[in-house]
Structure 1
């Protein structure tokens, strides 16, 4: 059995982690959701990270994956565009909120009691379920005021976004850009001494 592709899970939010499936490596933007299997790997990862997600989104037929991947790319583009605009200090677009709400209308939620837990289950096609979950996550970020705390990484060569709840965070992740910056500063100091 082959291992699944890994993704930079730095936010803890489904919609933001989707936006962060585009990364910069060696000076170029790289797409982490290239193939249908990448989409399946990402969905599996999200279900592991967020146990309350509707696991039915993993039941995608081979015929559906190509179409769903195309729509996910389009949806991610719109998310990134709006998230970056908010990170740059702009107001949240009311038309975008309406679009997110329509996505949820296309796959509304019902609740079921499973193993003594109340589970939120979306109805509709697999694509609509996925877009509904992503849209709901985004609307939660807006409603809780967290989207107003979205930031770009301080590394100008990084495209990852994150929510800064402390007001002091600079990097997408200390493991990714923060550590690189520390190593670069250390090398710079070392080179000045020699």
Structure 2
């Protein structure tokens, strides 16, 4: 997973990294959560980067992961952030996932949610909580889709001017395409 999930799409937000577990490479969609082993790898990657605490990962790994449930949640969430319609319905769905599903511990100077259940239910409760927490912080309004039509990535557009998930990957590709098409158009008119 660590090799397959490109750093250009890596975010400091766990839920954005979760959304980007489906991406496009060479015009082909890749889903990185098709097996339970891949979910474990993704959790380990989030832990490695300090985005999930050991207590959270340990609680999640106590039960099996039903990947179809996880992918359905991811796809519903991605759909919301692409359309940004039915916010009330979406936040209600997220709230239902968090009810009675989390406990809070004081860790690293802050209250940290830890799932009471493992597996898919615990992971989705934790992600739902984090999404709601970041909604309250105003992050939802800053979530954008990459303007490269071949890319499926979402990202947090902090300043509102960013067009691509990564300048190094999609930005360069789009600028190269634009340059090539202008050059080709110039040659055709000669």
Q: Give the TM interval when normalised to the shorter protein.
A: 0.7 to 0.9
Could you tell me which residue of structure 2 aligns to residue 97 of structure 1?
A: 91
Please tell me whether the aligned partners of residues 106 and 132 of structure 1 are also in contact (alpha carbons under 8 angstroms): no
* TM-score normalised over the length of structure 2: 0.81
* TM-score normalised over the length of structure 1: 0.79
51 and 22 in structure 1: CA distance in 2 versus 1, 3 angstrom threshold: closer
Measured against aligned partners, the alpha-carbon deviations of 1:153-182 in whole angstroms (never above 9, x if no partner) come to 111111111111111101111222112223
- 2:101 counterpart (107, 114, 130): 107
Q: Is 1:84–2:79 an aligned residue pair?
A: no
Please report the RMSD computed on the Cα atoms of aligned residues, expressed in angstroms.
Answer: 2.6
Report the Cα distance in structure 1 between the residues aligned to 2:113 and 2:142, rounded to whole angstroms.
29
Query: What SS does the aligned partner of 2:69 have?
Result: helix
Could you tell me which residue of structure 1 aligns to residue 141 of structure 2?
A: 148
Structure 1 unaligned spans of 5+ = none
More displaced stretch, 182-191 vs 9-18: 182-191
Report 1:24-43 matches (<5 A).
24-43=24-43
Q: Is 1:122–2:88 an aligned residue pair?
A: no
The alpha carbon displacement at 1:4 in A equals 4.6
Report the Cα distance in structure 2 between the residues aligned to 1:123 and 1:23, rounded to whole angstroms.
27
- 1:73 counterpart (65, 71, 74): 71
Aligned length: 182
Query: What SS does the aligned partner of 2:99 have?
Result: helix
The alpha carbon displacement at 1:134 in A equals 0.5
